[in-house]
């Protein structure tokens, strides 16, 4: 709500000055970046999608994208949306996604990046927690009516004034296509200010929001584009949900625009949708989570589509097994780059000139020479090189704190500003990181992150549930899936697993967070000091 003193942690002034002096922060805003590229090569295609009437192909040049962003910014300004406002963006992979985020960047309004899979529980939280004034949705997407969702969200979010709908019938709301107006002069934004709020994978009851500045994010794009060798001939297929940090920035759609390349929006990442696009659009690079990389590898054998334009496949978001990594080049005929990144900042890549063994067995090394890495024990003591421990990091594009979460920040960051990633890693003698596990209370379901506590809280809201613990269990395809151990209240034996899953879904939780399996137990295993032992629960789930 207006007047709330939101806190946005940032880098100490001397550190910021150092990052500027080193040239990492170039003082470029997203608005200026697009303006510059549009001036340099107006007629080059910036983005292609297949979301025109009846699924027709649409191509926007850099000049088109630049003008559309200006027109949309003017229209949003006319509706009272101003610098500093938060706008929840929940769009599928379409050109409108890029038009809108650049319009908001130019206005200085902050996109809050939701995923299409989010439902009333997540979206209402984003809207109320950020005091968002607007929410942008597709009408019906993948068979789900986001307009109905918006009605629920609107009733719960006092600050929310506008719902804009892309594609088709806007229902009771306004069509985003009706918003654009004659461009108005807007003040240039300060590159050191927060450009947007990204979502954390999360390990707490509610997701945390990540404030990223123009300076720090543009640097991560530039570094990523160099490492992935993007140039004006690059064609990036945006196959994962466009708002996620990986397809947005590693090097993603924004890194591709930074480099002057072409972004192809892929509506779904399945091979039958992606392969024809790779062939027809001459895609050179894309990024996938491990289960999809496996699915593509399997589907490539005998495919009628010509995938020969594909030079690089980035795989990250969850641990890619060495065996799966080895299969990628032979099957898809492209180079593999492993990427270990996080929306909070740090991104590591294997390099295109790393030896093949390093590429298949490690998760790479950081973008920046100024990325600081510490690997520590439970008491924050540095471990000898090669030992596995907690990864702490700080650097020119890693946040110093979550948005408006001072208490949580005191735990999630060290006093001197290192982010506690919750990942367990080790360093190889060659200086590459290997992800060995996780200390945070999270399930990594094929790259989709689930905070155990968030799901547990929803389960606990059921009258038959006395207590609940959600843990990861191995899954041959996803790597991990979620399993809820539930203690029922006395006399509540009739509530079964299916009913509980339905209950959680109906509370408006994204489908990927609904427990894959529910096991009813009489008690949870405890540790020596009487704390519930998630480790022992995980062991119960492990294959014998």
- State the residues that interact with ligand J2J by CB under 6 A: 201, 245-246, 249-250, 316-319, 338-343, 347, 363, 421, 423, 435, 438, 444, 449
DSSP line for 147-191: HHHHHHHHHH-TT--EEEEESS--TTSEEGGG---S----PPPPT
Torsion sign over Cα 304, 309, 311, 312: negative
Cβ closest to ligand J2J, residue 50 vs residue 426: 426
Minimum distance from residue 363 beta carbon to ligand J2J (Å): 5
Please, what is the minimum distance in Å from the beta carbon of residue 289 to ligand J2J? 8
Cβ closest to ligand J2J, residue 36 vs residue 475: 475
* Beta strand 144-145 pairing with 110-113: unpaired
Residue 454 tokens read as 């968030």
Q: Pick the closer one to ligand J2J by CB: 160 or 339.
A: 339
Residue 401 Cβ, how far from ligand J2J at the closest point, in Å? Answer: 16
Cα–Cα dist 171/166, whole Å: 11
Smallest gap from Cβ 315 to ligand J2J, in A, equals 7
Phi/psi at 245 (5° precision): -55, -35
Q: How many CB atoms lie within 10 A of CB 457?
A: 17
Q: Which is nearer to ligand J2J, 162 or 319 (CB)?
A: 319
Cα–Cα distance for residue pair 284/279, rounded to 1 Å: 10
Question: What distance in Å separates the CA atoms of residue 196 and residue 216, rounded to the nearest whole number?
Answer: 12
Q: Which is nearer to ligand J2J, 365 or 449 (CB)?
A: 449
Q: Which is nearer to ligand J2J, 79 or 408 (CB)?
A: 408
What is the spatial distance between Cα 516 and Cα 472, in angstroms, rounded to a whole number? 10
How far is it, in rounded angstroms, from Cα 241 to Cα 205?
23
- Structure tokens that stand for 74 in this block: 């003017």
Which residue lies nearer to ligand J2J by CB, 107 or 318? 318
Cα–Cα distance for residue pair 157/180, rounded to 1 Å: 25
Distance between CA atoms of 60 and 264, rounded to whole angstroms? Answer: 11
- Of 341, 392, 399, 408, residue with least CA distance to 16: 399
C-beta of 324: minimal distance to ligand J2J in Å? 12
CB of 67 to ligand J2J, least distance (A): 29
Q: How far is the CB of 529 from ligand J2J (least distance, A)?
A: 27
CB 283 within 8 A of CB 237: yes
Rg (CA), the chain: 23
**Which candidate, 87, 69, 105, 75, places its Cα nearest to that of 190?**
105
Q: Which is nearer to ligand J2J, 338 or 409 (CB)?
A: 338
- Measure the CA–CA gap between 361 and 355, rounded to whole angstroms: 10
Query: Which residue shows structure tokens 């540790």?
Result: 527
Minimum CB separation of residue 210 from ligand J2J in Å reads 8
Bridge partners of 451, per DSSP, are 442
Using alpha carbons, select from 500, 452, 509, 457 the residue that is nearest to residue 480.
452
Minimum distance from residue 101 beta carbon to ligand J2J (Å): 16
Instruction: State which residue has the least CB distance to ligand J2J.
Output: 341
Q: In this complex, which beta carbon is closest to ligand J2J, that of residue 368 or of residue 421? A: 421
By beta-carbon proximity to ligand J2J, the closer residue of 171 and 201 is: 201
Least distance from ligand J2J to the Cβ atom of residue 437, Å: 9
């Amino acid at each position: 709500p207006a007047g709330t003193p939101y806190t946005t942690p940032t880098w100490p002034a001397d550190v910021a000055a150092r990052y500027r002096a080193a040239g990492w922060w170039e003082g470029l805003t997203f608005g200026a970046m697009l303006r510059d590229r549009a001036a340099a090569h107006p007629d080059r295609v910036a983005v292609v999608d297949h979301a025109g009437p009846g699924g027709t192909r649409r191509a926007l040049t850099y000049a088109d994208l630049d003008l559309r962003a200006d027109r949309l910014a003017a229209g949003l300004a006319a509706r009272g949306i101003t610098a500093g406002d938060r706008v929840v963006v929940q769009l599928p992979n379409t050109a409108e996604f890029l038009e809108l985020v650049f319009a908001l960047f130019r206005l200085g309004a902050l996109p809050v990046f939701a995923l299409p899979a989010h439902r009333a529980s997540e979206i209402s939280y984003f809207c109320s927690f950020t005091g968002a004034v607007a929410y942008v949705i597709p009408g019906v997407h993948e068979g789900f009516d986001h307009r109905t969702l918006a009605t629920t969200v609107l009733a719960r979010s006092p600050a929310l004034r506008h719902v804009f709908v892309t594609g088709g019938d806007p229902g009771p709301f306004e069509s985003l296509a009706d918003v654009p107006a004659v461009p108005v002069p807007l003040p240039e934004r300060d590159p050191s200010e927060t450009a947007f709020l990204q979502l954390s994978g999360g390990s707490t009851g509610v997701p945390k929001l990540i404030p990223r500045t123009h300076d720090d994010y543009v640097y991560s794009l530039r570094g990523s584009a160099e490492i992935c060798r993007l140039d004006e001939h690059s064609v990036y297929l945006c196959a994962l949900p466009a708002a996620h940090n990986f397809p947005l920035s590693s090097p993603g759609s924004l890194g591709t625009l930074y480099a002057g390349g072409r972004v192809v929006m892929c509506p779904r990442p399945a091979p039958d949708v992606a392969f024809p696009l790779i062939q027809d659009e001459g895609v050179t690079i894309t990024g996938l989570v491990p289960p999809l990389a496996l699915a593509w590898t399997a589907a490539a054998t005998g495919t009628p589509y010509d995938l020969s334009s594909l030079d690089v496949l980035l795989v990250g978001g969850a641990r890619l097994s060495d065996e799966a990594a080895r299969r990628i080049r032979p099957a898809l005929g492209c180079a593999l780059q492993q990427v270990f990144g996080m929306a909070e900042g740090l991104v590591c890549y294997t390099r295109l000139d790393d030896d093949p063994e390093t590429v298949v067995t490690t998760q790479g090394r950081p973008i920046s020479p100024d990325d600081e890495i510490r690997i520590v024990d439970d008491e924050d003591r540095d471990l000898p090189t090669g030992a596995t421990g907690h990864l702490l990091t700080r650097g020119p594009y890693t946040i110093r704190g979550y948005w408006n979460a001072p208490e949580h920040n005191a735990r999630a960051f060290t006093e001197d500003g290192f982010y506690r990633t919750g990942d367990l890693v080790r360093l190889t003698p060659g200086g590459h990181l290997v992800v060995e596990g996780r200390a945070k209370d999270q399930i990594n379901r094929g790259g989709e992150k689930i905070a155990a506590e968030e799901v547990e809280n929803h389960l606990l809201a059921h009258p038959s549930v006395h207590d609940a613990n959600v843990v990861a269990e191995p899954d041959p395809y996803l790597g991990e899936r979620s399993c809820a151990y539930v203690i029922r209240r006395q006399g509540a034996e009739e509530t079964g697993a299916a009913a509980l899953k339905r209950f959680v879904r109906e509370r408006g939780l994204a489908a990927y967070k609904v427990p894959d399996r529910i096991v009813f137990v009489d008690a949870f295993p405890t540790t020596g000091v009487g704390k519930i032992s998630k480790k022992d629960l995980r062991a119960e789930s492990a294959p014998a």
